[in-house]
Chains A and B, each alone.
Chain A
């Protein structure tokens, strides 16, 4: 009985470690997405190409929103 309980505790601890690890990974990834968006803004200040600049900004914002959404989703379901 004690063995089973300790095994369950070990599994729960292992699951928590994985969950925290994934959350840290997704947090770092969200920061990376923010850096990418910031670089897009910097490059657009350097050279502005009418329609193309708008499209790439939209892609950068979408990337950041998806990263943040995944972080929130993993907080909720993991």
Chain B
């Protein structure tokens, strides 16, 4: 007797949609996507962010998700900030010294002096802007399929390198010195399969307060990053 209310289940159902080949071979399923960690708003001066919201890069694919956003720790900006403060105070100090002593050994026309002083402070502003840009645009982005390393320096120098996760051979990090230990940052090196292929993230933030990893435990950022990259690259390599 056939039960009409419960028909025999189909043994074979043809798949109507095929998953794209690229996602099978190059995309990984990172553990971070399985967790309930939502997208986080990236603060303008942030040095470390997981799944940042509002970050896009050129040639980003539609289904490509940014998992990590890395930049030098903000404390690495202290040397040029101190230099800028000294440069700002320098004319005032010179003026005070000249007032205390007999005066300037040479005199400039008043208008010329004003223009030169304004030009000096404009140059200091440029110094600050360029150093800030150098920090701001030196970025490492880890997506679910590749690592993108953006280097920017000396105003007109820019270098963009990308490596697929399958091509990552080794990831290491170093954290040496008192300041680095105190502020919890270090250098991360990603060795790729290419000859001399190496990404560097110098002065990367190790962790930010309150960050938790996919297991829900507080961990340092660098071990988390290295273990993530290594495990996913090895898993992806095994799949391919």
On A, residues with C-beta under 8 Å from B are 15, 18, 22, 25-26, 29, 32-33, 35-36, 39-40, 42-43, 45-52, 55-56, 59-60, 63, 66-67, 70, 73-74, 77-78
Contacts and interface: CB of A to CB of B under 8 A. Distances in A.
Among B41, B115, B126, B141, the most chain A Cβ lie within 10 Å of the Cβ of: B115
B112 interface: yes
B130 interface: yes
Interface in B118-158: 118-119, 122-123, 125-126, 129-130, 132-133, 136-137, 139, 141, 150, 152, 155-156, 158
A49 B54 contact: yes
Interface of B: 41-45, 53-58, 109, 111-112, 114-116, 118-119, 122-123, 125-126, 129-130, 132-133, 136-137, 139, 141, 150, 152, 155-156, 158, 160
Contacts of B54: 48-51
Contact of B44 (A18, A26, A39, A51): A51
Chain B binding surface, main DSSP class: mixed
Given A33-B126, A47-B58, A49-B44, A70 B156 contact: no
B133 A46 contact: no
Contact of B118 (A15, A25, A70): A70
Contact of B57 (A26, A32, A47, A60): A47
17 contacts: A18-B112, A29-B119, A32-B126, A35-B155, A35-B156, A36-B130, A36-B133, A43-B152, A46-B160, A48-B56, A48-B57, A50-B42, A56-B132, A66-B125, A74-B115, A78-B111, A78-B112
A40 B134 CA distance: 11
A25 B119 CA distance: 10
Contact of B139 (A47, A51, A67, A74): A47
Contact of B122 (A48, A56, A66): A66
B133 A56 contact: yes
Contacts of A26: 119
A48 to B, nearest CB: 5
Given A47-B56, A49-B136, 18 more contacts: A39-B133, A42-B158, A43-B133, A46-B58, A46-B150, A48-B57, A49-B54, A49-B55, A50-B41, A51-B44, A51-B54, A52-B44, A63-B125, A63-B126, A63-B129, A70-B119, A74-B115, A78-B112
B77 to A, nearest CB: 14
Contacts of B111: 77-78
B70 to A, nearest CB: 12
